Amino acid sequence: MFENILSLYGLDPKTTSIQSFGDGLINHTWMVIAGDKRYILQKVNSEVFKKPSDIDENLSLLKKYLSSTHPEYLFVSPVNTADGASLISNESGYFRLFPFIEGSMSLNTLTRIDEAYEAARQFGMFSKILADFDAEQLNITIPNFHNLILRYDQFTEACNQAGAERLEKAADCINFVSDHQNIVNTYRQILNNTAIPLRVIHHDTKISNVLFDAYNKGVCVIDLDTVMPGYFISDVGDMMRTYLSEAGEEETDFSKIRIRKDFFKAIYDGYMSEMKEVLTSVESEYFTYSGKFIIYMQAIRFLADFLQNDTYYGAKYEDHNLNRAKNQIALLKEYIKLEQELKMDSLF
């Protein structure tokens, strides 16, 4: 399979090595080493991204815009084949090749506050430099991706269709989700509030989607498939979901899930160092809500997937998605406990 792909890029399959890379749940990623050049090869998951060409068009639109407005910005876009294609397809699916950003590395867990600040600054910078770009020009690569109302409806549907055994195992989680529908109501207010604009939003701000240099400074953001029009709460919220607790979403000892308050402040300071002048005062009022919004939505998504027999995220062991949902609920409980204190931290 790889031979044909490599040839399209003028790479000699005999002298090129390919290894699986990264820990994403959706796409397949490989590191490609061809002499002294390194690349990242990716197969787009076309079950999730129904029209991979939509992603490709978005990347090329943003590349064009940024190369004229912010030529100094490192926007990681695909390499072209000898025929000038930035996305290729064959009987195995859709593929693209990125240049490996030399001297960079990504993190899977976050231990340092300055790295949380840097990551948040990078995501803030991304939305800031695109603040004057008309977000509605972008294709919607996953419809309703962060639409909490729809996610809640999908969860209800999953409950209605689930088998008895999974329903019983998930009963406590289902009750928790249903008892916290006020989080969906607040999202409804946001949708109806014209002071909260659609912006160019990354929608997957986990720490492994930021590249760092050897001095722990952020270099750029990557994994741009879900860049679409959205609300800032998506990006800030996913940082809170994935940076605040040292124990990540795969942890099954839920007692290890704790909120690091100083990391909240670092996310706030890093994001606001770029977005302070861009966010409206009404948006800023929802800064703390964004954590609840995304953690709750991720709990719902894992739980719905468990109830639907793990068709979206897959499962490496029995009850994997149920445990992921329990993990996110534990995180949300910790977050809600500290919410008022965190709110104070986002005022100064």
Catalog residues that contact ligand GN1 under the rule CB under 6 A: 24-26, 48, 204, 206, 223, 226, 249, 298
Residue among 16, 209, 298, 321 that touches Mg ion (CB under 5 A): 209
Q: What's the closest the beta carbon of residue 294 comes to ligand GN1, in angstroms?
A: 8
| Contact of residue 284 among ligand ADP, ligand GN1, Mg ion, none (CB under 5-8 Å per partner type) | none
Q: What's the closest the beta carbon of residue 207 comes to ligand GN1, in angstroms?
A: 11
DSSP-derived pairing of the beta strands 93-99 and 37-44: antiparallel
Reading phi first (left if > 0) and then psi (alpha if -120 to 50, else beta), residue 235 is in alpha
Q: What is the rounded distance in angstroms from the CA atom of residue 42 to the CA atom of residue 283?
A: 35
Q: Give, as ranges, the residues between 215 and 254 that touch ligand ADP (CB under 6 A).
A: 222-223
Residues 329, 173 contacting (CB under 8 angstroms): yes
Query: Is the C-alpha dihedral spanning 39, 45, 49, 51 positive or negative?
Result: positive
Q: What's the closest the beta carbon of residue 102 comes to ligand ADP, in angstroms?
A: 8
| Contact of residue 34 among ligand ADP, ligand GN1, Mg ion, none (CB under 5-8 Å per partner type) | none
Question: Which part of the chain contacts Mg ion (CB under 5 A), choosing from 67-75, 206-214, 279-287, 316-324?
Answer: 206-214
Residues 44, 96 contacting (CB under 8 angstroms): yes
Q: What's the closest the beta carbon of residue 106 comes to ligand ADP, in angstroms?
A: 3
Question: Which part of the chain contacts ligand ADP (CB under 6 A), choosing from 20-28, 50-58, 155-163, 253-261?
Answer: 20-28
C-beta closer to Mg ion: residue 221 or 325: 221
93 binds ligand ADP (CB under 6 A): no
Residue among 6, 11, 26, 275 that touches ligand ADP (CB under 6 A): 26
Q: What's the closest the beta carbon of residue 226 comes to Mg ion, in angstroms?
A: 10
Q: Where are the alpha helices (DSSP H) in the chain?
A: 2-8, 52-69, 113-129, 148-161, 164-169, 171-179, 182-191, 232-243, 261-275, 281-284, 289-307, 320-345
Residues 5, 92 contacting (CB under 8 angstroms): no
Q: What's the closest the beta carbon of residue 27 comes to ligand GN1, in angstroms?
A: 6
C-beta closer to ligand GN1: residue 25 or 195: 25
Residues 106, 213 contacting (CB under 8 angstroms): no
Q: What is the rounded distance in angstroms from the CA atom of residue 20 to the CA atom of residue 37?
A: 17
| Contact of residue 254 among Mg ion, ligand GN1, ligand ADP, none (CB under 5-8 Å per partner type) | none
Q: What are phi and psi of 154, to 5 degrees?
A: -65, -35
By CB under 6 A, how many residues form the interface with ligand ADP?
A: 18
Residue among 56, 115, 118, 223 that touches Mg ion (CB under 5 A): 223
Structure tokens at 321: 């998605």
> Which helix (H) or strand (E) segment is 51 a member of?
none
In sequence order, which residues have a C-beta less than 8 Å from that of residue 143 and are 6 or more positions away? none
Q: Give, as ranges, the residues between 66 and 85 that touch ligand ADP (CB under 6 A).
A: 76
| Contact of residue 48 among ligand ADP, ligand GN1, Mg ion, none (CB under 5-8 Å per partner type) | ligand GN1
Q: Alpha-carbon Rg of the chain, whole angstroms?
A: 20
99 DSSP β-pair partners: 39
Q: Give, as ranges, the residues between 15 and 34 that touch Mg ion (CB under 5 A).
A: 24
Instruction: Identify which of 200, 228, 74 has the alpha carbon closest to the alpha carbon of residue 130.
Output: 200
C-beta closer to ligand ADP: residue 24 or 93: 24
By CB under 5 A, how many residues form the interface with Mg ion?
A: 4
C-beta closer to ligand GN1: residue 86 or 328: 328
Residue among 101, 113, 167, 315 that touches ligand ADP (CB under 6 A): 101
